[in-house]
Structure 1
């Protein structure tokens, strides 16, 4: 599954991204009695086009602390791999509107806080209200 798209960075240059693979969602929580969340997680689906849209809509954050202060977290995530600017990255998309790219010792944090992001996540961004 290889999909290309153009990604506008903060400097407005277009860079090519290739989605290499997407894994099924996984519930990573310790509370196995939360059947509603486990079921929702297992039925959460993002395809390549959705992931492209998520990264196009998301903003970069400097560190995980920013993500932790501004967004919720759910024990449900979708993992995969992508190629960006000639570098292969692993990605994790959390069901609460955040994502992270990892490659070697580098990490990039993303938050999807626009209204257009809402349909992609189990818990959309609400400013932690």
Structure 2
């Protein structure tokens, strides 16, 4: 009986890890990365140039960002995470596919491959040194 309960627990654990929502990207490699650029999707561009100075990521740091990030849905990407006036773009090889990515300075990112789009958020404390604005959530107290 104990063995079957253990097997069931392992199967549930594996299945939930593959569900997408809340999962982390697996093995990946950033193959190219841009310099910091203005993100015109941010609602305010006032002071954007000054805010973006000093924020940059290396390939290794972008890989760390993605390893700390969790998959989120489009609603959470747009409503739970702020949008900083800065972004970094590049290419990442993951899941046997090449993806174009955009990391916004407000701790969120997008992967795109053709019509497929994936959204990520980096809310772990270890994300703080990698982003311009850390994730603070939407809880107002």
The residue aligned with 2:34 is 23
Question: Scaled by the length of structure 2, what TM-score is found?
Answer: 0.73
Give yes or no for contact 1:18–1:83 (8 Å, CA) kept in 2.
yes
Tell me which protein shows more helix as a share of its residues: 2
Task: Give the RMSD, CA atoms, in angstroms.
Answer: 2.5
Q: How does 1:22-101 map to 2 (within 5 A)?
A: 22-29=33-40, 34-35=46-47, 37-62=48-73, 64-101=74-111
Q: In terms of Rg, which structure is larger? A: 2
Structure 2, unpaired ranges of 5+: 1-16
Q: 1:31 to 1:15 in 2, by over 3 A?
A: closer
Higher strand share: 1
- Give the Cα separation in 2 of the matches to 1:127 and 1:15: 25
The alignment covers a number of residue pairs equal to: 118
The alpha-carbon distance between structure 1 residues 60 and 15, as it changes in their structure 2 partners (threshold 3 A), is closer
Q: CA deviation at 1:28?
A: 3.0
Runs of 4+ in 1 over 2 A off after TM superposition: 28-32
Corresponding residue number in structure 2 for 1:3: none
